Structure 1
Amino acid sequence: MRIADSREAVRMAFETLRTNKLRSGLTILGIVIGVATVITISSIISGLNNNVQAWVSTLGTDVLWVFHMPVIGVRPTAEMLARKKLTFDDVAAIRNLPHVVAADGGVRHVNPIFQAGIVGVKYGQKKAQGTLLQGDSVQVAEVADIPLIEGRMFTEDEDQRRANVVILGYDTAQQLFGNDSGLGKEVNIENNAFTVIGVFDKRKQPFGGGRNPDDNAAFFPINTFMKLHPEDAVTGGVWVSVKYDDPKNRNLVQDEVRELLRRRRKVHVEAPDDFEIFGPDSLTRLWNQLTGGLAIFMVAVSSVGLMVGGVGVMNIMLVSVTERTKEIGVRKAIGATKRNILLQFTIEAMTLCALGGVIGIAAGGIITLLIRLLLSALPATMSSMWAMIGFTVSCMIGLVFGIYPAWKAANLDPIEALRYE
């Protein structure tokens, strides 16, 4: 087909739109809705993915976590809940492994119904409610790398003598002191006075909006924490965080930790591990599983709109063939082949759908912008890849649903077509 014929087909498509604005607009409405749905949902997923990736990166690429049962993406079984808990002796043993830089054993206070402790931190007449209480070894500074906005981390000496010192989370400090410094001030926690020696900076939130629960927390040296809740190390177990020397050594460190713990916990050779080792990438995998479900939902919803749009395009093209029967007869009489007519009407259908795709992409972009402006919890980011996919699919819809009307036009008998009134 000559370029001039292609241009004529595109021109005639726009002529159809111009002369039948309402009919053509309703025809491509399904395409617009389908593509706009793809762009909007993919933009939300893309924005959330970026936030989750940024949050996971703050957890480190050289960190492993060890716990007596899985806590990410798995519902614990009775066997998992009954497992022997990890201990501080396990933490000390892990520190001696060759590629381990630091290992922290942390214990968090929770109430009997497995919800965050509702303990309040008081300062004068002010109170921070629902504060988490957590004890850590001094090596938490090397493992977690949480920035302080003021003050310092606790020392080995403070841990050994069980000093009444505490580091507050960002939200806790804001509720108690506002914009004033909290350093050196005494706060009341469970009827005990603790001196504030530091305040952690605000932590990233994986989904953009809301507060991070760890920002409303009080962190103690582990031996100080054990004065308050010694039972938690037994009932809840110790959460072990391991920092190693090089990301390339992850598998080696994981194998060394597994072998060490199996030996210490006297796990038989043929028996599976009675503990779990995982890292920040486990969070990424879990999130990808969730977004995979959203992607399937997106495809299902958009497919309905695209199919409706495709049927509409087929309908208007069949009407167009009927209206232009005499024109087709004239074109055939002056030498147009079946191939010319077939390609002309196919390109016309694809042009209609492509226009619907462009409008859908624009509509999706506008919706994405509105979401960013009005809903901070949904940090939508428009994806150029999904925009291209939406446009390509809309063109394919035009090809699939436009081929039958084009075939019908191409097979009209020229003599009968010329006689058509």
Structure 2
Amino acid sequence: MRFGSTGESVKMALETVRANKLRSGLTILGIVIGVMTVITISSIISGLDANVENWVSSLGSNVLWIFHMPVIGVRPTAAMLARKRMTYDDAIAMRDLPHVVATNAGVRHVNPIFQVGLIGVKYGTKKAQGTMLEGDTTSLPEVTDFKLLQGRMFTEGENDTAANVVILGHDTAQKLFGNEPSVGKEVEIEGDLFTVIGVVDKLKQVFGGGDNPEDNKATFPYRTLKKLHPEDKDIWISAKYDDPKNRALVEDEIREMLRRRRKVPTWKPDDFEIFAPDSIARLWKQLTGGLAIFMVAVSSVGLMVGGVGVMNIMLVSVTERTREIGVRKAIGATKRNILTQFTTEAITLCAIGGVIGILAGAIITLLIRLIISALPATMSATWAIIGFSVSLAIGLLFGIYPAWKAATLDPIEALRYE
């Protein structure tokens, strides 16, 4: 085999690794840790990204949200908090817009923090605590991912008369009735009796594992909840429109209508906010962007340490093999041959570290999926390729100087070296 060829250099590098297993293992440890960190963190991010996308899609397609202040990615100012609230009539008026299919006006009552644990719903001797109370219009199933396991949706007549009917969340019904039918039974909520007319299917959540607070909820007709809690005035409007391509047009129509209804002068900005589920996805991307920077920073430390270790072992290797280099030069090896040999050895060492790091990251990813259901880690082939490529680049970068030192040795002085 020709001296200085890539194949021979790789073979010699592997022989060096086998001959000095402990030294080689400690040398590439930094590379292993760096690549493993990249694989592990990117796997967690990829899994969570997929979960967030699925959850956002479950919030409704072609949906816009309207609220009196921003609530996603912005800290409201005192002026925003003091804005006039949305109204039930605003939601009804939006239904007349050309591209709006349905609207829902939702209002929610949650026990104050200092009262967490109060009984929300009671049936006989069984109790569901900390239950959220929510009032909605009959359009709720058209606007959101609202699927009933049992029963039916309340009617316009029940909303108009503020009837004492309720639809229970999945977990609430389980606590009260177990696997028994719930429809038609009466439950006690805040001293009043309500007839159960439906039970909602279990809802998706962003992170798996644990109980979803949205599954411990009692949903009433809008006017029924207002009868229970007239003090709750924060109305959340959801508007479903006909086609994704009409989003900008629908936003403009809603904005124009609300400015007119709320009597906002032309020279003043909107005193309300219009946003969509993809706002959550964008905010999540910003958060994971910061996590990705952290991942790069942590892995860079390991890779740099590994690179310095590779340079150190290659310099030791050049010193140990000085006489061998002299012999090879004497029988015709060129500077390029020597440079190629030692550079390839350094890259091979780092490649071994990269492969071990990828395997270690894959094992950790699998363990995370099996042990921690809330972190649905998914290994990314892209990041595996990036991690391996970076390990090769580290080998090239930190192997150049020892290779250059070996290539520039004087053959006569090298032959005299003992």
TM bin, normalised by shorter chain, reads over 0.9
User: Aligned partners of 1:393, 1:210: CA distance in 2, in Å?
Assistant: 38
Q: Deviations over 1:120-174 (max 9, x none)?
A: 1000000000000000011112111311111111111111122111000001001
State the TM-score, normalizing by the size of structure 2: 0.97
Corresponding residue number in structure 2 for 1:143: 143
Check if 1:88 corresponds to 2:88: yes
User: Aligned partners of 1:293, 1:132: CA distance in 2, in Å?
Assistant: 33
Gaps spanning 5+ residues in structure 1: where? none
CA contact under 8 A between 1:205 and 1:211: conserved in structure 2? no
Shift of 1:2: 6.9
Shift of 1:270: 2.2
Corresponding residue number in structure 1 for 2:200: 200
Secondary structure in 2 aligned to 1:361? helix
Corresponding residue number in structure 2 for 1:341: 338
Corresponding residue number in structure 1 for 2:380: 383
Shift of 1:364: 0.5
User: Aligned partners of 1:336, 1:274: CA distance in 2, in Å?
Assistant: 79
Corresponding residue number in structure 1 for 2:349: 352
User: Aligned partners of 1:419, 1:26: CA distance in 2, in Å?
Assistant: 32
Secondary structure in 1 aligned to 2:130? strand
* 1:382 partner amino acid: M
Check if 1:303 corresponds to 2:336: no
User: Aligned partners of 1:334, 1:123: CA distance in 2, in Å?
Assistant: 95
Check if 1:287 corresponds to 2:284: yes
Check if 1:261 corresponds to 2:249: no
Check if 1:409 corresponds to 2:390: no
Shift of 1:112: 5.3
User: Aligned partners of 2:28, 2:112: CA distance in 1, in Å?
Assistant: 58
* 2:145 partner amino acid: D
Shift of 1:111: 4.3
CA contact under 8 A between 1:44 and 1:379: conserved in structure 2? yes
Change (3 A) 1:111 1:80: farther
Q: Deviations over 1:6-56 (max 9, x none)?
A: 011001111110111110000000000111111111111111111111111
Corresponding residue number in structure 2 for 1:370: 367
State the TM-score, normalizing by the size of structure 1: 0.96
Corresponding residue number in structure 2 for 1:74: 74
Shift of 1:328: 1.1
Secondary structure in 1 aligned to 2:5? helix
Q: Deviations over 1:245-298 (max 9, x none)?
A: 011111110111111111111112222111111111000011111111111111
CA contact under 8 A between 1:118 and 1:132: conserved in structure 2? no
Q: Deviations over 1:204-259 (max 9, x none)?
A: 110112222111000001111121012212xxx21000000011111110111111
Q: Deviations over 1:100-124 (max 9, x none)?
A: 0001101101345699895510000
* Larger displacement relative to structure 2 (130-139 or 206-215): 206-215
CA contact under 8 A between 2:119 and 2:127: conserved in structure 1? no
* 1:292 partner amino acid: G
* 2:170 partner amino acid: Y
User: Aligned partners of 1:155, 1:61: CA distance in 2, in Å?
Assistant: 24
User: Aligned partners of 2:259, 2:368: CA distance in 1, in Å?
Assistant: 50
Corresponding residue number in structure 2 for 1:315: 312
User: Aligned partners of 2:316, 2:71: CA distance in 1, in Å?
Assistant: 60
CA contact under 8 A between 2:31 and 2:306: conserved in structure 1? yes
Shift of 1:418: 1.4
Change (3 A) 1:115 1:16: farther
Check if 1:275 corresponds to 2:275: no
Check if 1:230 corresponds to 2:207: no
CA contact under 8 A between 1:325 and 1:418: conserved in structure 2? yes
Change (3 A) 1:114 1:82: farther
Alignment length, in residue pairs? 418
Check if 1:244 corresponds to 2:241: yes
Gaps spanning 5+ residues in structure 2: where? none
Secondary structure in 2 aligned to 1:232? coil
Shift of 1:96: 0.7
User: Aligned partners of 1:5, 1:395: CA distance in 2, in Å?
Assistant: 18
User: Aligned partners of 2:113, 2:372: CA distance in 1, in Å?
Assistant: 33
* Larger displacement relative to structure 2 (308-317 or 209-218): 209-218
User: Aligned partners of 2:384, 2:261: CA distance in 1, in Å?
Assistant: 54
